[in-house]
Structures are given as structure tokens and as C-alpha cells.
Structure 1
């Protein structure tokens, strides 16, 4: 049940009760009106309108914007007709308008439907109509109008908070359901497929020859399957010649493709041109393999498409350096961290390390892999690239992109286009 549905039910009852109140005032003041027939005609129209539109305020789906405008028009018309049917002395004394407090129902409809901004706009219209009806800013009029305005804004704000809470709860329930399904799949797969793949990898490595290649491929598939059941991201498995096969997001089960509503597009480099958000995890997951361990948060790490592609390319360049300089047998680790104000990717290896001053010498010799492929990309994104290395202790590359700088980079690119 929607958290706002009780408010619609309360508004329905409010309109009926306030109509009865307005009818009672009309009966009591019948002999005091200058033109009682006009008051009776308006009250008949108000009664018929309330009866015919009873269903319109039963829920948000039925309460359209056109109806709200018409409802407010009925209320404002009644306010402006009051000087035509009632005497000036009675109006100066502060007697209620023809619709009386029924008018507040029209304002509350705007507040519940569209939030505090809609409520404030409708209340302002009612306030203006009341000032015109009285012909002056009387103290009692100001008090009443302030109450209408504050009440409409307050209720509109409450309904916005309630809707946000409802969306948060729905997301939490979807995440919980997806997590339970992922855990169930992980248990089943671990008890069967993963154990078989791990055994094939070990036996193939022990036998050697073609069996070793088969074992290596089984290890790649085991890593891809573990990534799938643990995070919903799938590493692209490699074929025998080292090339990557494509596994699109459509291959994922619905429960794993996105726990929070529709799945976030993986956005491989060049796939998106609208600058929309991309999950950086999906760009880095394909690097995982038997010699590369990828660790990432459980939630999507969203960056604009261009920024995500450039950062992923920098990580790929860092891994290329590991393969070239640390050797094919070196192991690498990728750690993805999503901080409140920045996204950080750390690439670490267990190779021999970089001698002091080697990076500067390589740049001076014209080898610009680090200077352009890594440090240049991060500089263009407003980020930084730092190396921590010591001979015999491996190398660690820390790539940091501030989220504010990422947004500026995207705006700069759009302006250049």
C-alpha cells in the first residue's frame, strides 16, 4: 500500500465534511444574503461538483492536473462571487466566503499530488482571491491565508519525504531479493560447477601439454563464474588465442543484472555517446584472470561514460606495464574504491619493482607509456596518478579521479563538441 494513499482517503472525507459545513453556513445565513438565490445556485453547483468528482480524489492515478485546476477554479469562483451575493458590511466583519473551508481541500489536492511547490502555488492563488474578495488586507484574513499557505507547504513537503522513503524501501527490498538469489546460486554453483572447474585446472596443470591449456581455460571460466555469482558482473572469458569473447548484459539473469531497478549499462569504451552514467566495475571486471585479482564494492560505481572509459584505459595500460616489465608470471591486484568525493583504482603487482628514477629516464628516452597512457589520461580528467615502488617489493599505481573533476571534464567535452 502506498504511503500517500491514506492522505487521499483523508482528503476525500475532508471534502465531504467541509461541503456539509459550507451548506450549513449557507442555510444559517440565507436571510442575511443580499442575493440568496445566487448563493443557493453556487452551493448547488459545489455540491454537484463534489459528488461527481468523488472518485477523482481517491488516488493519485485518478487525480489529474486538469481536475486539480478545475477544482481550484470552482473554489476561487465561489470566493470571488461572495461580494455579489453578500453585503459589504458582513464581508467587512469577516463572514466566511461561499465555499468556506472547502477551499482548503482544493489546495491540499495540489500539495498531495505535486508536493510543496504545487501546494504553495495553489495557496497563493487562493490568498489572492481572498484579498480581492475582502478588498483589503484585514488582520483576520492575513491569519487565515498564512494558515492555508503554511499547511499546504507543510503537507506537500511531508508527501515528498514519504515518497522518497517509499522509493528507498523499494530499492532495499529489491537489493535484498537479489542478494538472496545470488547467495542461493552461489551455494549451488560452488557445490558443483566451481569445484569441477577448479579440479580441471589443477589436474591440467599437473599433466601439462594440451591439458595445461585446458586447465588454464577452466581457471578463466571459474573466475568469470565466481565474478558473476558474487557481483552480477561477468568477466569476459578468453579463448585459446588470448582474445576476449563478448558477454553482454543480456546474458545475466534478471535477478543479478541489477539489484536496484534496471541494470546500469556496462558502457564499454565507445558504447555510449550521451555521457550517461556507467558502472566502472563492468569495465574493470574483464581484466580479472588467473593472474589478475579484481576487488570491487558491492554497489555500482557510477561515472560519466567518457570518464569511466578513460579511467579503465589507464588501468589497462598499468596492467600492460605489469606484463611487460614484471613478467608473464607476475600476479596483479586491482582494487576499486568508491569514496564520497572521488573514485580510486589501485593496481599492485608482485614484480621486481621500479628502480628509483626509472620513470623519469623512460620519459626522457621518449617512452611515453606512463606519461601519456596513464598520467596524461588522469590529468585530463582532473585526477592524479601516483607510483609507489621499491626494488624487489613490487609496484603500486594509485589512480584517483575526483567526482567533481569528472563532471567538469564531461561539460568541457560537450562544450568542445
Structure 2
């Protein structure tokens, strides 16, 4: 991301370090507001039934505890949206404790026959919302289920009304958790798109600057060197190679990893293109694990280095990347002198382990396969197939 570019939902920490903000902050504020509203409702219910309770004083003590805890949770969740995990668990425990207090407040008749609401009534729905906002669908569903089971346990029986409460609590937790998960995913996609847009704009600016300066100089050196011949021609060839490499570097997509550790393999290969090596990649991102992208890029780099060393002067190479969904396929082909039969085994026997370790070793570690087709004066053709999920647990997003 370029200097000075800030993304939505980021707090500014310096010229190059915006601090990301949780996109679910509005949902946290809504959960706090829900707790305050339901507290007022619970206090109204206690005021309505206090003359009927077995212990009206204990009922108001419970309401006081609920009010104090509402104030504490409001401060914590508004100051630090997620808060520590232990505090969220403690929040659930306090709500369950307030429900259990109802056994001391209500009479047996109120608990069983009359069905008078427990002291917290709907106040406990706020903790279900907290679980959903913090942990998504799973957290909301689990918190809703725990509160519902506690409701059964405090009442001591099962009926239609309590089952209805279970469906509502679990449903609220699931739906709000789904909204939370979707919100986070949408914010991540937006942030990534803005980063790519900023990086693209910066590359275009650099490309214009480089084209007006460095590339023109390299082109001039190449042209003049070829005209002069001799040693100058060699300098012209080197300048031409650097010109091609620089153009490939500027045109390559930005090197970026996503939040789940996936990375686009294409730019790591595009920067390897020169006047002798052509790299073809799909138009859309090829996402693999960041570690796998690094290993595959090293593999191609090592293979091209072998072409430069052993394929003969003037040999050319072609790199093709294919995304087949379940696996990624890399083809590296050259038109050099090829490899004589038994030459690789002989090199390994002599202790030269370049192909065995740098190429085959990397593919094996990624859980993939590699094949080689070669013959004297027929070039070499490597094909590497790596699954999206390998032994090192790499996983790319489809």
C-alpha cells in the first residue's frame, strides 16, 4: 500500500501504519444497547411482580447486579470491541448466575404453574448477541444453546414455551453470527481490493517514471552498443536483458498475502521473465499458500538457472502456469541441448544434488509430482503438479 493511503475502518498510527478497526464495531454497540434496553425491561417486570415474589429484596439485588454488570460490559465492549476471551466467558457465567438466582426469588408456584418470567427475563439475550458478534455463527449458536439449557435447568421442566425460547435464542445467535461473519469477510475483500488498487496506481506511476528515464536509457544503450559492436555489443545484450526484466517487474501483480495465508503465485513467476525466458500466467489470481508460492517460485528460478548453465548459449525457456482448481500445474520447457540418459543419476552419485534437492525435494515436500521429458538436442520439459492441499497443509482459496 502506498504512503498516505488509508482504508475504511482503519485508525491512523503513522505515515505507513494504519491500525485496522474491527468492521463489526457497530454490532458491538448494538449488543450493548440491547443489554441496556433489556435491563430496563427486566426491572419493569420485577417491579410488576415484586409483591408476589418469595424474596422481593433478593430480586432487586439481582437487578442491581445485572445493572452493575451491564455498566461493566458496556465499558469493556465499547472500549475494545472484542475484549479478552475470558471476559466473554465470564459474561456468560454472570448471566447464567442471574438466571439461577430466580430459584430463590420466585415461589414454587411461580416457577411451575404460573410461569412467571425469571428475574433476568430477556436480559440474557444480550450475551447471545455477544457470542455471535465475537465468534460468528458457531459462537452465537453455542451461546444460545447454553442459555436455553440453563432456562430448562432453572425451571426444572420442559414445555412448549421454553422450547420456543430455545428456538428463538439459537436462531438469534445463528443469524447474528452469520451477519457478523459476512461483515468481516466483506470488509476483508474491500480492504484487499483497495490495497490492490493503490498498489496498481503506484505501479503505473512508477512505470511512467521508469519508462521516461531508466527504460529509455537502457534502450539507448542497447541500440548504441549494437551499432558499435565488439565489447559494446555485449553491453547492449546485457542492457536488453535488464530492460525486459524491468518491464516484467513493473507489470507484475503486487506480492500480497491474504488474511488466511494465501498468496497469488502469478507475480512471483512474472518477475522471472527476461528476453530469453517467457512466462505465461492466467488472467485471474492463482491462490495457494504463501509458503507454497515461495517454494514454487524458487523451483522455477532454479530450473531457469539450470537452463542458463547447461542448456547451451542462446537457449530459450517457456514457463506456463495453469490453475486446474484442485491442483496447480507448472510447465517449464526449454529448447536447449537436453539431458543425456542417466546424467541426473550420475550427478546425484557425484554429490551434485541440485535437481534432487532443489527441484524434486521441493515438489515432494508440497505433496506434488514432477515429471521430466528430455533427450539429447531435444531440450527439457518439466511438469510440476501440486495439489491445493499438500502435506504441509497448504490451502488456497477458490
TM-score over 0.5 for the alignment? yes
1:134 aligns with 2:155: yes
Cα deviation for residue 28 of structure 1 reads: 0.8
> What is the CA–CA distance in structure 1 between the aligned matches of 2:374 and 2:361, rounded to whole Å?
19
CA 1:377–1:11 in structure 2 vs 1: closer, same or farther (change >3 Å)? closer
1:279-358 mapped onto 2 (5 Å cutoff): 288-296=273-281, 299=285, 302=290, 304=292, 309-310=298-299, 312-317=301-306, 320=309, 322-323=311-312, 328-349=313-334
Out of 375, 378, 381, the position equivalent to 1:397 is 381
Q: 1:11 to 1:196 in 2, by over 3 A?
A: same
Match of 1:245 in 2: none
CA RMSD, 1 decimal? 3.7
Shift of 1:224: 2.8
Is the Cα–Cα contact under 8 Å of residues 368 and 387 in structure 2 kept in the other structure? Answer: no
Instruction: Give CA-to-partner distance per residue, 1:9-68, whole Å, 9 cap, x none.
Output: 222221121111111111110111111111122112222332344323336536443432
Change beyond 3 A, Cα 1:278–1:94: closer
**Residue 32 in structure 1 maps to residue 52 in structure 2:** yes
Q: Residue 116 of structure 2: SS of its match in structure 1? A: coil
**Residues 397, 318 of structure 1: CA spacing in aligned structure 2 closer, same or farther, 3 A cutoff?**
farther
CA shift at 1:173, angstroms?
0.8
Give 1:95 deviation, angstroms: 1.5
Distance 2:98 2:276 in 1: 78
Residues 52 and 113 of structure 1, relative CA distance in 2, 3 Å threshold: same
How much has 1:365 moved relative to structure 2?
11
Please report how far the alpha carbon of residue 363 of structure 1 lies from its aligned counterpart in structure 2 after TM superposition: 3.9
Deviation at 1:390, TM superposition (A): 12
SS of 2:319 mapped into structure 1:
strand
1:362 aligns with 2:341: yes
Structure-1 residue corresponding to 2:183: 162
Structure 1, 80-89 or 112-121: larger mean CA deviation: 112-121
For the pair 1:149 / 2:149, whether they are aligned, the reply is no
Contact 1:119 1:153 in 2 (8 A): yes
Aligned counterparts, 1:14-413, within 5 A: 14-58=34-78, 60-61=80-81, 63-92=83-112, 93-231=114-252, 258-260=255-257, 288-296=273-281, 299=285, 302=290, 304=292, 309-310=298-299, 312-317=301-306, 320=309, 322-323=311-312, 328-349=313-334, 362-363=341-342, 373=355, 380=364, 382-385=368-371, 387=373, 397-404=381-388, 407-408=390-391, 410=392
- Give the conservation status (yes or no) of the 8 Å contact 1:292–1:334: yes
1:244 alignment counterpart: none
Secondary structure of the residue that 1:333 maps to in structure 2? strand
Give CA deviations for 1:275-315 in whole Å, capped at 9, x if unaligned: x9887667756754332233445757655365654555345
TM-score (norm 2): 0.76
For the 8 Å contact 1:108–1:152, the answer to whether it is kept is yes
> In 2, are the aligned partners of 1:292 and 1:333 still within 8 Å (CA)?
yes
- Give me the whole-angstrom Cα distance separating, in 1, the residues matched to 2:303 and 2:150: 63
Kindly tell me: are residues 308 and 279 of structure 1, through their superposed partners in 2, closer, same or farther at Cα, counting changes over 3 Å? farther
CA gap of 1:366–1:389, structure 2 versus 1, over 3 A, is closer
- Kindly state the Cα deviation for residue 3 of structure 1 after the two structures are TM-superposed: 4.0
List runs of 5+ in structure 1 lacking aligned partners: 233-255, 263-275, 412-417
Tell me the CA shift for residue 378 of structure 1: 9.0
- What is the Cα deviation at residue 7 of structure 1? 1.5
Asked whether the equivalents of residues 368 and 390 of structure 2 are also in contact (C-alpha less than 8 Å), the reply is no
Q: Which moved more, 1:179-188 or 1:63-72?
A: 63-72
| Contact 1:318–1:397 under 8 Å retained in 2 | no
What is the number of residues matched between the two proteins? 360
Q: What is the CA distance between 1:387 and its match in structure 2?
A: 4.1
Match of 1:235 in 2: none
In structure 1, distance between residues paired with 2:263 and 2:106? 65
Assess, with a 3 A threshold, how the Cα gap between structure 1 residues 389 and 307 changes in structure 2: closer, same or farther: same
How far apart are 1:96 and its partner, in Å? 0.8
